[in-house]
């Protein structure tokens, strides 16, 4: 595998990112409104998307670049007791849905990361968040999968390659963190 071939595939995805400018502005506005009204940002995903969820939640709670107050943010992928007890007692498909039902309020933003858009546990969680009245966002790829019809805002990265989709999701997440730093730094 050539390094340059991988870099070209990365660059090809990133040349399409300008197509998401309006959507990421909508995301920023929703998150800003939520945080300003006492809401929180809830992240979830599987595998690499779980790690990205944790990373972005930490950037908001701790800091991205600027010294500022913590921004209320949590990843539903961090509690090993819940992540093992729930599938043991119920079903892995509902592991995030149950947490959403217990933790999410109407003024929150729930962001699901799923490169395929087909992750049933992410889709059920976003549907539950919709029922609560929270604003739901899907960061996804490929053709958007089922999640594009569930989330109120679906940002679909134009790629079939999981790694390239995840790189784009992290770019969007880091841009959001930087914009929020500017918004919430005194």
Of the candidate CATH numbers 1.10.10.10, 3.40.50.1110, 3.90.1150.10, 3.40.50.10490, the domain formed by 3-184 belongs to 3.40.50.10490
Beta bridge partners of 147: none
Q: How confident is the prediction for the chain on average, in pLDDT?
A: 97
Split at pLDDT 50, 70, 90, the class of 13 is: very high
Contacts (Cβ under 8 Å, ≥6 apart) of 29:
none
Domain-wise residue ranges, the chain: 3-184
pLDDT in tens, 38-77: 999 999 999 999 999 999 999 999 999 999 999 999 999 9
pTM: 0.97
CA neighbor of 184 nearest in space, from 80, 41, 46 = 41
| Strand order from edge to edge, sheet including 153-157 | 73-75, 41-45, 109-114, 135-141, 153-157
Q: How confident is the model at residue 1 (pLDDT cuts 50, 70, 90)?
A: confident
pLDDT digits (tens, 9 = 90+) for 91-133: 999 999 999 999 999 999 999 999 999 999 999 999 999 999 9
């Amino acid at each position: 595998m050539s390094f340059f071939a991988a870099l070209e595939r990365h660059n090809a995805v990133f040349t399409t990112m300008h197509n998401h400018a309006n959507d990421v502005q909508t995301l920023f506005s929703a998150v800003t409104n939520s945080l300003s009204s006492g809401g929180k940002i809830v992240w979830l995903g599987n595998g690499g998307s779980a790690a990205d969820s944790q990373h972005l939640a930490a950037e908001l709670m701790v800091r991205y670049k600027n010294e500022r107050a913590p921004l209320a943010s949590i990843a539903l992928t961090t509690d090993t007791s819940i992540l093992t007890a729930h599938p043991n007692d119920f079903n892995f498909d509902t592991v995030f849905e149950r947490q959403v039902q217990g933790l999410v309020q109407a003024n929150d933003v729930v962001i699901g990361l799923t490169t395929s858009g087909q992750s049933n546990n992410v889709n059920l969680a976003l549907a539950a968040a919709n029922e609560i009245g929270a604003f739901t966002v899907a960061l996804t790829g490929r053709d958007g999968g089922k999640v594009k019809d569930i989330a109120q805002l679906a940002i679909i990265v134009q790629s079939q390659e999981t790694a390239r989709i995840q790189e784009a999701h992290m770019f969007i997440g880091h841009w959001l963190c930087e914009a929020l730093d500017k918004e919430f730094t005194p």
